[in-house]
Amino acid sequence: MIWNLRARFLARTADLRSAFSPAMAFLAHQDYPWLLPAAVAQAFSMFGESRIVPAAIAALFGALAIAVVTLRVARAQGARWGLLGGLAVVTLPCFATFASNQQSDVPLAVYFAIAAALMTSAKSRSELALAGFSAGLGMWTKNEGALYAACLGIAWIFRTSADRILTELWPVAVLATMPTLARTTART
C-alpha cells in the first residue's frame, strides 16, 4: 500500500525533497502523513526490506484494535462485555480485510480508540494529555485524522463543563497540535 511505497523511499534515499516532487504519480499521495511509513522504514532498516515487515506491523495494529476495545469495555462494564466488544470488532465485515491489506484505517482507529477511551475515563490532566497525544498520532497516520481529532475535541468540550475546559483543555490542545506544527514546519 501507500505506506510501503513511502517506507521504501525513506529507507532507500536520503533526499527528502523528492518526496514532494510534482512529478510523483498522483496515487503516491504527496501529502500522505509520515507516521506509518516512518515506522515501516525503520523496521526495513533493522530487518531488511521483507514483505513480512509491513505485514507484521499491520497485524500488530489489528491486534491492538481488538485489545483496546476489549480492555476499555471490560474496564467499564466487566469482562463479559469486554469480550463481546472485542468480538464485535473482530466480526466487522471490513476489519480483517483492512488489517490484512495494510490499510491505514486500522492504525487510525487504534489511535482514536485509545484517545476516546482515555478521554471518557480521564481522572487527571496527564490522562487527557495522553489522549491528545494519541489523537495527534492519528493525525500523523492519515489525512482524515485531523477531522477525527477535531470531532473528539468538540465532543469532549460538549461533555465537559466550562470551568473544567479552561483548566484541562490546554494540555490536550498542545499535544494534539504538536504533530501538525511539526508537519507544517517540515514542509517549509
pLDDT in tens, 174-186: 777 777 777 666 6
Q: What is the per-residue pLDDT across 27-46, written as a single tens digit (0 to 9) for each?
A: 767 778 889 988 998 999 89
Mean pLDDT of 10-20: 71
Of 13-27, 34-48, 129-143, 146-160, minimum mean pLDDT range: 13-27
Is the pLDDT score of 188 beyond 60? Answer: no
In this predicted structure, what is the pLDDT of residue 167?
A: 67
Domain range summary for the chain, segments of one domain joined by +: 104-188
Mean pLDDT of 129-141: 94
Is the pLDDT score of 18 beyond 60? Answer: yes
> Using an 8 Å Cβ cutoff, are 60 and 18 in contact?
no
Mean pLDDT of 18-32: 70
Q: What is the per-residue pLDDT across 83-105, written as a single tens digit (0 to 9) for each?
A: 999 999 999 999 999 999 999 99
User: Which pLDDT band holds residue 161 (cuts at 50, 70, 90)?
Assistant: low
Alpha carbons 109 and 76: distance in angstroms, whole number = 19
Note every long-range contact of 122-130, with CB atoms under 8 Å and residues 24 or more positions apart, other chains counting.
125/167, 125/168, 125/171, 126/171, 128/168, 128/171, 128/172, 129/171, 129/172, 129/174, 129/175, 130/175
In this predicted structure, what is the pLDDT of residue 30?
A: 72
Could you give the percent of the chain with pLDDT greater than 90? 53
As given in the structure block, the three cell numbers for residue 173 are 490542545
In this predicted structure, what is the pLDDT of residue 72?
A: 96
Task: Identify the sign of the CA torsion 13, 15, 20, 21.
Answer: negative
Alpha carbons 36 and 3: distance in angstroms, whole number = 6
Alpha carbons 70 and 75: distance in angstroms, whole number = 9
The 3-state secondary structure of the chain reads CHHHHHHHHHHHCCCHHHHHCCCCCHHHCCCCCCHHHHHHHHHHHHHCCCCHHHHHHHHHHHHHHHHHHHHHHHHHHCHHHHHHHHHHHHCCCCHHHHHHCCCCHHHHHHHHHHHHHHHHHCCCHHHHHHHHHHHHHHHHHCCCHHHHHHHHHHHHHHHCCHHHHHHHHHHHHHHHHHHHHHHHHHHC
> Using an 8 Å Cβ cutoff, are 100 and 116 in contact?
no
User: Which pLDDT band holds residue 55 (cuts at 50, 70, 90)?
Assistant: very high
